[in-house]
Structure 1
Amino acid sequence: MKLLAAAALLAALVPAAPFGQSAPSASTGPSARPGHESRGDDCARPPASAEARHRTDGHPRDRMDLSPAEAAAVEARLNRILDGLGQGGHGPGKGRHGASESASLRRAAQISIPVYFHVIHAGAKGNVSSAMIQRQISTMNTSYGGGNGGANARVSFTLKAVSRTDNAAWFGDPERYEGTYKPRLHKGDKSSLNLYSTYIGGDLLGWSTFPWKYKSEPQMDGVTIHYASMPGGSIENFNKGFSATHEVGHWLGLYHTFQDGCSGEGDRVADTPAERDPTNGCPSSKDTCPTPGEDPVHNYMDYSYDTCMTSFTPGQGTRIHNVWTAYRA
Structure 2
Amino acid sequence: MTRSCGTMDYHNWLLSQSEAYAEERMKIEKFSNDYIMGNHMISNRNVITIPIVVHIVHQTPNIVTDAQINSQIDVLNLDFRGRNSDLGKVPSHWIGITGDARIEFVLSEITRTITTVSSFSKTNLNDVKSATTGGANPRPSNQFLNIWLCELTGILGIATLPGGAPELDGSVIRHSAFGTTGSARAPFNLGRTATHEIGHWLNLYHIWGKHDSKIALCEDTDFVDDTPTQEMANYNPPPSGTHITCSNGPHGDMYMNFMDYTADKDMYMFTQGQVARMDACLKGPRSSFLVYQDPTFAGAVSGSSMFIQSNVGTKGNFELVVPLSTGDITYFCRNNDNASSNWTSSDINVPNTYKFISTKLIQSNYSGNFEVIALDDRGHISYITRYSETKKWSNISLLELYDTNNVKLTFNGHPAFIQSRFGTKGNFELVAPLSRNGLAHFWRDNDNPKLSWSKGTIFATELGEVDAVGLIQSNYGTPGNLEVVVLHDTRRKLAHMSRDSNTGIWSKPLALEFCEPSNPKLFFRGNPAFLQSQYGTKGNFELIIPLASGGLVHFSRNNDELNPCWSKGTIFATELGEVDAVGLIQSNYGTPGNLEVVALCDNETQLAHIFRDSNTGIWNDDYTIIKS
- Contact residue 112 and residue 155 of structure 1 kept, 8 A: yes
Change (3 A) 1:65 1:272: farther
The superposition leaves residues 228-247 of structure 1 with CA deviations (integer Å, 9 ceiling, x where unpaired) of: 11213443311111111101
Q: Which residue of 2 aligns with 1:199?
A: 151
The superposition leaves residues 206-235 of structure 1 with CA deviations (integer Å, 9 ceiling, x where unpaired) of: 11111111xxx1111110111111213443
Distance, in Å, in 1 between the alignment partners of 2:29 and 2:120 is: 38
> 1:146 is matched with which residue: 82, 89, 98?
82
Distance, in Å, in 1 between the alignment partners of 2:232 and 2:15 is: 15
**Residues paired across the two proteins, number:** 256
| 2:172 is aligned with 1:224 | yes
Q: Which residue of 2 aligns with 1:323?
A: 281
Q: Which residue of 1 aligns with 2:57?
A: 120
Change (3 A) 1:144 1:307: same
Q: Which residue of 2 aligns with 1:182?
A: 129
- Contact residue 105 and residue 314 of structure 1 kept, 8 A: no
Higher fraction of helix: 1
Change (3 A) 1:67 1:179: closer
| 2:189 is aligned with 1:239 | yes
Distance, in Å, in 2 between the alignment partners of 1:62 and 1:178 is: 12
Letter in 2 for 1:156: E
Q: Which residue of 2 aligns with 1:258?
A: 208
Letter in 1 for 2:119: G
| 2:36 is aligned with 1:90 | yes
- Contact residue 257 and residue 302 of structure 1 kept, 8 A: yes
TM-score (norm 2): 0.37
Q: Which residue of 2 aligns with 1:267?
A: 222
Distance, in Å, in 2 between the alignment partners of 1:68 and 1:296 is: 28
Q: CA deviation at 1:273?
A: 0.7
Gap runs ≥5 in structure 2 = 88-97, 132-136, 211-216, 288-628
The superposition leaves residues 115-158 of structure 1 with CA deviations (integer Å, 9 ceiling, x where unpaired) of: 0110112126x620000000011111111010122311111111
Change (3 A) 1:280 1:162: same
Change (3 A) 1:207 1:80: closer
| 2:71 is aligned with 1:132 | no
- Contact residue 128 and residue 148 of structure 2 kept, 8 A: no
Q: Which residue of 1 aligns with 2:566?
A: none
Q: Which residue of 2 aligns with 1:172?
A: 119
Q: CA deviation at 1:81?
A: 4.2
Distance, in Å, in 2 between the alignment partners of 1:68 and 1:262 is: 22
Of the two, which has the highest radius of gyration? 2
- Contact residue 120 and residue 128 of structure 2 kept, 8 A: no
> 1:287 is matched with which residue: 227, 230, 244?
244
Percent identity between the two aligned chains: 28
Distance, in Å, in 1 between the alignment partners of 2:203 and 2:51 is: 17
TM-score (norm 1): 0.69
Higher fraction of strand: 2
- Contact residue 120 and residue 127 of structure 1 kept, 8 A: no
Q: CA deviation at 1:314?
A: 0.8
- Contact residue 287 and residue 295 of structure 1 kept, 8 A: yes
Distance, in Å, in 2 between the alignment partners of 1:318 and 1:191 is: 22
Distance, in Å, in 1 between the alignment partners of 2:70 and 2:46 is: 25
Distance, in Å, in 2 between the alignment partners of 1:303 and 1:65 is: 19
Distance, in Å, in 2 between the alignment partners of 1:174 and 1:276 is: 27
Gap runs ≥5 in structure 1 = 5-28, 31-50, 54-60, 93-99
Distance, in Å, in 1 between the alignment partners of 2:26 and 2:122 is: 30
Distance, in Å, in 1 between the alignment partners of 2:153 and 2:185 is: 12
- Contact residue 245 and residue 252 of structure 2 kept, 8 A: yes
Letter in 2 for 1:287: I
SS at 1:258 equivalent: coil
- Contact residue 66 and residue 259 of structure 1 kept, 8 A: no
Distance, in Å, in 1 between the alignment partners of 2:56 and 2:26 is: 37
Letter in 1 for 2:204: L
Change (3 A) 1:270 1:108: farther
Q: Which residue of 2 aligns with 1:24?
A: none
Distance, in Å, in 2 between the alignment partners of 1:66 and 1:178 is: 13
Q: Calculate the aligned-residue CA RMSD, in Å.
A: 3.2
Q: CA deviation at 1:68?
A: 12
Q: CA deviation at 1:80?
A: 4.4
> 2:106 is matched with which residue: 149, 152, 158?
158
Letter in 1 for 2:51: P
